[in-house]
Structure 1
Amino acid sequence: MAVFISSQEKEDLASIASYASLDTLAGKTILVTGSTGLIGSALIKGMVLYGKTHARPITIIGLARNEKKVKEVFGSFLDFAYLSFVYQDIHFPLSLAVPVDYIVHAASVTSSSFFISHPVETIETTVLGSLNVLEFAREQKVSSLVYLSSMEVYGRVGESEERTTEDTLGSLDILNVRSSYSESKRMAECMCRSYYEEHGVPVKIARLAQTFGPGIGAQDNRVFAQFAKSALTGQDIVLHTTGLSVGNYCYLPDTIKGIITLLVKGASGEAYTIVNEDTSMTIADMASLVAEKVSKNSIKVVYDVPPKGINLGYAPDTKLRLSAKKMNGLGWHAEVNLEQAYQRLITGLREAAEFQKERI
């Protein structure tokens, strides 16, 4: 099956494939859960490209639920002899016929509206899924496991000029069903540390800032995706909040390289924040950046804030400004700033839209 890949996405995947730390994985076997998601699929595609240019390829096993979606996401990448998939739900114990050396646990719910409409399922996916992966890692005696957590574990922190480091956590409202995501991520992190302390599982925790780049789904409705689509279509950006919450972001290839860095260099039992510090800004400021710099003032920002009591699924306002110091200490540094990330994302979306028109 032919799968469309934009020129920008090809460039990004080539950048991942050339990342030197992948050499550590050469000749080894890696399991990637959440294999059809944005991060899992980009990691797998980058490793496939690495394998095509190296004598000792990485054997890759993707965990997925839907074979049809795997074909839609990977297309001709499936022709690579060292790539295979196991189909099962992450809620059940894992069982593979071959030994595994490394694991990246990327399976996760990512939709804010789902957190609210299906909080029980959100918790089950995070907690049960992570428990199954950790137990499998213990049984396999893997060399390294990276668990993909979220910056949402930080909760609401006090406003400060100082950046928030991994040892600082704010408050969470445990009776807000949206906290089903952030609280379950906290629990999963505690499980990771517990499996390290009690069973010696070499797990590293990656607290991801919001990650985006070419390859996001057409139906992605997160704030950054809405802004990019507005820029692409020439429509004004409409904010349904005051936009005072501070966002933290990282471009997809930078995030993937951070995950690989953690896999081969991170300290077991530790948490690391993967973020581009230059991207920390309010939602309102990001909207203005897209309208003024990315769109060259061809669109504007419009505020349409609903009355109090109407819940659209957005996280509570936070002034969180994350620190990348701990990741930088491993030799990783984010390279693509927010304006560049938007330009590249929009290029990918534009090419994808043109491809769809040609097919009609």
Structure 2
Amino acid sequence: MSEQIKEGYDKSRQLEDLELIAASNINFEYYRDSSVFITGATGLIGSSLAKCFLCCNRLNELNIHIVAAVRSRDKAEAIYGKLLKRNDIELYIGDLIEPVEYRDKIDYIFHTASITASKIMVEHPVCTIETAYQGTRNVLELAREKQVRGLVYVSSMEVYGKPDPKLDFVEETDLGYIDIMNVRSSYSEGKRICECLCTAYASEYKVPVRTARLAQTFGAGVLPSDNRVYVQFAKSAIHLEDIVLHTEGTSEGNYCYTRDVLKALLILGYSGENGQAYNVVNEETHMQIRQMAALVAEKISGGKIAVKFDIPESVLSFGYAPAVKMKLGGAKMRALGWEPEVGLEQMYERMIYDMTYREE
């Protein structure tokens, strides 16, 4: 077992991804000798980003100080392990709905914290909205106070609601309809108001904030607690169990691999237009949910499992987002020098490799 693994890194495709990012064309000189504050640092994006900076420190000697903002010390210790013994990372324990009290300097902020479980969005819509708005406002106030060099707000493709189905690609200005009478809209509407708040702070207080509208993101490094549809499909392939869909699966998915998303966020940390949003998506991975289920059953499992349908009278209890026909366009992000590299089949292969290793 390598020294890196002994220090707390997984023996995984995730470590390979982080080292590839460290050796990429990202201009890490912007981050050298800086302090980086990451919210949601026990989530998939936040924890991957923190580990990415730690890896870059190890390989490139960047002297970046990482402040991982979390609510649970125990959860953070489970995710980071011995990495927390390093002197280039510290934990900030607190709930973002309260003002952030951090005394030292902060140069960059990556605001990745968010409620991501659909069931919570349906059962606790008030908390979903409050966490999104108040948490983001407190982060923006922190950025204003510290006069940061860059702030990246991590948003979602769900801000688009149901856009015009005639569009070939949904670009950043193509917002569609959201049913505000549907409690599940607490998430998408919450993201919209947070984006509006970011634009307001950029305009009124000159906070250098850019918004990343992420497609569904998965791959190496996905957390054991994640139970979203792509993880369920992967578990079915690992355990050779049929995939069961509780809808017709006609909703169109837009996806991006974890490594590609991290590179986009790092670029947005130091470039892009303040107050603007950028789609982060690999257009080549676009397909219906049922098509993705078939890909996993046929290619990933080698045809050893099948796709079955068990559709209840009401799917509200599952908390699924409304079915949409939408293909995100990533031209605006690519104009900043970013290119997605990993396709859907490889996304599953790399994620399953890590999930299988973790179970052993």
Using the size of structure 1 for normalisation, the TM-score is 0.95
For 1:234, the equivalent position in structure 2 comes to 240
For 1:172, the equivalent position in structure 2 comes to 178
| C-alpha separation in 2, matches of 1:11 and 1:22 | 18
| C-alpha separation in 1, matches of 2:308 and 2:298 | 13
Distance 1:89 1:309, change over 3 A: closer
Which amino acid counterpart does residue 16 of structure 1 have in structure 2?
I
| C-alpha separation in 2, matches of 1:55 and 1:239 | 47
Would you say the 8 A contact 1:240–1:305 is kept in 2?
A: yes
Distance 1:309 1:71, change over 3 A: closer
**Structure 1 residues 287-302: aligned runs within 5 Å:** 287-302=293-308
**Structure 1 residues 121-200: aligned runs within 5 Å:** 121-160=127-166, 162-200=168-206
| C-alpha separation in 2, matches of 1:220 and 1:113 | 12
- Compute the displacement of 1:8 (Å): 1.2
For 1:103, the equivalent position in structure 2 comes to 109
For 1:225, the equivalent position in structure 2 comes to 231
Distance 1:4 1:299, change over 3 A: farther
Task: Give the 3-state SS of the residue equivalent to 1:249 in structure 2.
Answer: strand
Match 1:17 to one of 11, 22, 27: 22
- Compute the displacement of 1:2 (Å): 7.6
- Compute the displacement of 1:82 (Å): 1.4
Q: Which moved more, 1:273-282 or 1:14-23?
A: 14-23
Would you say the 8 A contact 1:273–1:323 is kept in 2?
A: yes
For 2:345, the equivalent position in structure 1 comes to 339
For 2:267, the equivalent position in structure 1 comes to 261
For structure 1, the residue ranges without an aligned partner over 5 or more in a row are 355-360
Task: Give the 3-state SS of the residue equivalent to 1:277 in structure 2.
Answer: strand
Distance 1:56 1:6, change over 3 A: closer
- Compute the displacement of 1:62 (Å): 1.0
Task: Give the 3-state SS of the residue equivalent to 1:248 in structure 2.
Answer: strand
Which amino acid counterpart does residue 298 of structure 2 have in structure 1?
E
Match 1:89 to one of 91, 95, 101: 95
CA offsets per residue over residues 140-178 of structure 1, 9 Å max, x none?
Answer: 111110000000000012322510000110100001110
- Compute the displacement of 1:46 (Å): 1.0
Q: Which moved more, 1:61-70 or 1:170-179?
A: 61-70
Would you say the 8 A contact 2:252–2:325 is kept in 1?
A: yes
Are 1:74 and 2:77 counterparts?
Answer: no
- Compute the displacement of 1:295 (Å): 1.2
- Compute the displacement of 1:53 (Å): 2.4
For structure 2, the residue ranges without an aligned partner over 5 or more in a row are 1-5
Would you say the 8 A contact 2:260–2:341 is kept in 1?
A: yes
Which amino acid counterpart does residue 120 of structure 1 have in structure 2?
V
For 2:3, the equivalent position in structure 1 comes to none
Task: Give the 3-state SS of the residue equivalent to 2:62 in structure 1.
Answer: coil
| C-alpha separation in 2, matches of 1:89 and 1:82 | 22
| C-alpha separation in 2, matches of 1:56 and 1:3 | 19
Match 1:40 to one of 40, 46, 51: 46
Which amino acid counterpart does residue 329 of structure 1 have in structure 2?
A
- Compute the displacement of 1:208 (Å): 0.5
- Compute the displacement of 1:265 (Å): 1.4
Using the size of structure 2 for normalisation, the TM-score is 0.95
Would you say the 8 A contact 1:249–1:276 is kept in 2?
A: yes
| C-alpha separation in 1, matches of 2:8 and 2:87 | 18
| C-alpha separation in 2, matches of 1:27 and 1:83 | 13
| C-alpha separation in 2, matches of 1:45 and 1:55 | 14
Q: Percentage identity across aligned positions? A: 45
Q: Say how many residue pairs are matched.
A: 354
Q: Which moved more, 1:12-21 or 1:26-35?
A: 12-21
Q: Which moved more, 1:17-26 or 1:2-11?
A: 2-11
For 1:284, the equivalent position in structure 2 comes to 290
Distance 1:309 1:11, change over 3 A: closer
Q: Which moved more, 1:52-61 or 1:24-33?
A: 52-61
Task: Give the 3-state SS of the residue equivalent to 2:60 in structure 1.
Answer: coil
| C-alpha separation in 1, matches of 2:316 and 2:18 | 41
Task: Give the 3-state SS of the residue equivalent to 2:27 in structure 1.
Answer: helix
